[in-house]
A and B are shown apart, each in its own frame.
Chain A
Amino acid sequence: MTDATLTRSFTLRRFELWRFPGTRAVAIAALLYLYVPIVALVILSFSAGDSSLARWQGFSVHWYADVLANSDMLRAIRNSLLVASVATTTGTVIATMAALATSGPRFRLQTGFEAMIGLPLIVPDIVAGIATLLFFVMIGVPLGIVSIMLAHTVFAIPFAYLPIRARLQGLDPALAEAAADLYATPWQGFRRIVLPLIWPGIAAGAMLAFISSLGDVVVSYFVSGPGATTLPVYVFSMVRMGVTPAVNAISTLLMLASIALLTVSYLLGRRFQ
């Protein structure tokens, strides 16, 4: 036996001991549980008839055609993308600034500050929605696309902050010091040294903020006015009216969008690891 196969059989045997009987079965069952509903939804979105498997009448893409011809839905999609872009950009810039501050030497009140950054993730979204609604009504911000953007920016901050902070933590402080020794201004040091190094963290954070803004139903539901709604709020009202295969089609599209964004961020993360 060569050395390599010896090591291999040794590690294999070691892994044998780590195997806990039954855990594999549970894990596979759980993965099925996670994916079966999604797969069923996708299959039913291609149904020619209504969305019942019992009355399957063949394969068709006409529900997708319906969705793409629905001008209300298209407007909602445009609103969603606009809100998510603005909230993500603003939120990510704010989060990057915050992460730069907290990754330096610890300051007084830092624990309190970090708790505050995490607050939007802790407050139940229905409570955040109600509170923001009351606030906007009181100070006279009209409910519409701007109010949704403002509300989304708040929870974009923690989503973007966490990966950026993690990335900054792994950064060698000597690099920024070296830049300063070479007469870089703090801004030049940031632009030329720190920013390129933390870029993957910023991209990952922005991606998460974008997905969570695109996916938000509850907060948007409360702070959107009669004029402008986002796609999830629109779909939510459709679902409450009844089940139609058009909802399956739009849901499938929404899901594809999240999966695509997530895959990009996963690949980015792996490339830079």
Chain B
Amino acid sequence: MMASLRRSGLLAPSVLTIGALLILPLGLMAYVSTLERGPTGGVIWSQHTTDAYVQFLFERDLTDRLVVNTDYLHIFGRSIVVAAITTAITLIVAFPMALWMAFQPPRRRLLLVFIVTVPFWTNILVRNYAWILLLRNDGVIDWVLGRLGLTGEHINVLYTPLATTIGLTYSFLPYMVLPIYVSLEKLDRRLIEAAFDLGANRWLAFRRVILPLSMPGVVGGAILVFVPGLGAFISPELLGGAKSMMIGSLIQQQFGQSRNWPFGAALSFVLLVLVLLALSAHAARYRREPKP
């Protein structure tokens, strides 16, 4: 009795803080998405409408008829594609890197983890800003390539979806390396030795032993890259141009220039649902698999 009372006391502050300052606001956001937009911005609290969700797929033409408008779907589609490409690239780079790290002597391993972690904890703004310096015309890469005589003209990469992808890949690479590294590092080495003893070459041992056992790390890393990539705001805002807008900037616009809170809230809610779906698919997958 005493113990459970004490436990409740210990749990209360976190429940209250996260409940009042995150869960309640998320609920409010879902509620706002069903409200009528106010004439000068804001919302009319008493009037409900599905306008915000209708607006996502349709627009009114001159004669006030609803016609399908795929602009917003395009932005969502682009965000999903950019996040998926980012996930794929980080995976291709991170796996060999993590594999190499995991088989280093223990002391060096610790140092390598530290080296990979530093950029991850460095301000995201700083990391993306650095890429502006590298990618812009007359920037570092442009200058080096020009010096080498490889490009006659400017590279014109900044403010394209390519620049956004580079920025996101850069920002999220550690998110992919670390989980894969963790799963490879704690992998029972005797299993690999056994594979070698049984005549497997490196490739076979890799394909039949290492790869399957590192899957939790791979899937975890993919989730850690894909989910924030989908809702990314800084990289597309700083590196991508107006023509390569992603969900984050679209949401921000509704609270800035467009002054359309219900639509902004609806977009955020759809994004949140996408993220939760991705996570629960991941959780469900692991619940089904038997624990080793």
Contacts and interface: CB of A to CB of B under 8 A. Distances in A.
Interface of A: 15, 17-24, 26-27, 29-31, 33-38, 40-41, 44, 51-55, 93-95, 97-98, 100-101, 104, 107, 113, 116-117, 119-120, 122-128, 130-135, 138, 150-151, 153-154, 157, 161, 186, 208, 211, 214-215, 217-218, 222, 232, 235-236, 239-240, 243, 247-248, 251, 254-255, 258-259, 262, 266, 270
Given A20-B206, A41-B126, A116-B23, 9 more contacts: A55-B138, A98-B14, A124-B227, A127-B271, A153-B21, A215-B121, A235-B125, A243-B136, A251-B125
B264 interface: yes
A217 B124 contact: yes
A238 B121 CA distance: 22
Interface in B112-164: 114-119, 121-127, 129-134, 136, 138-140, 142-143, 146
B101 A27 contact: yes
A41 B118 CA distance: 15
A26 B96 contact: yes
A104 B117 CA distance: 31
Contacts of A125: 228, 231, 233
A19 B23 CA distance: 48
A117 B11 CA distance: 10
A120 B18 contact: yes
Nearest to A42: B130
Q: Which 8 A-B pairs rank lowest in CB-CB distance, beginning with the nearest?
A: A124-B231, A135-B25, A37-B130, A131-B25, A101-B10, A23-B100, A26-B96, A23-B96
A22 B203 CA distance: 12
A240 B132 CA distance: 11
Contacts of B114: 262, 266
A30 B170 contact: no
A120 B14 CA distance: 12
Given A127-B272, A133-B255, A135-B25, A41 B14 contact: no
A120 B22 contact: yes
Most buried by B among A31, A117, A124: A124
Contacts of A18: 103, 192
Most buried by B among A26, A36, A222, A266: A26
Nearest to A124: B231
B168 interface: no
30 contacts: A17-B196, A31-B97, A33-B93, A33-B170, A34-B116, A107-B4, A113-B15, A116-B15, A116-B19, A116-B23, A119-B18, A124-B248, A125-B233, A126-B252, A127-B272, A131-B29, A134-B29, A134-B261, A134-B265, A135-B25, A153-B17, A208-B121, A218-B233, A218-B248, A222-B255, A235-B129, A239-B125, A240-B238, A258-B122, A259-B118
B110 A232 contact: no
A41 B133 contact: yes
Nearest to A251: B126
Contacts of A41: 126, 129-130, 133
A22 B96 contact: yes
A103 to B, nearest CB: 10
Given A40-B133, A41-B126, A125-B231, A94 B103 contact: no
Contact of A150 (B14, B21, B93, B170): B21
B75 to A, nearest CB: 14
A232 B123 contact: yes
A266 B131 CA distance: 27
Interface string B206-244: 100000000000000000000110110110011000000
B256 to A, nearest CB: 10
Contacts of A239: 125, 129, 132, 238
Interface string B245-267: 00110011001000001001100
B241 to A, nearest CB: 13
A98 B10 contact: yes
A40 B231 contact: no
A207 to B, nearest CB: 9
A17 B194 CA distance: 12
A124 B120 CA distance: 17
A27 B174 CA distance: 12
A217 B103 contact: no
B67 to A, nearest CB: 28
B119 to A, nearest CB: 5
Contacts of B48: none
A251 B123 contact: yes
Contacts of A30: 93-94, 97, 173, 177
A124 B7 contact: no
B6 interface: yes
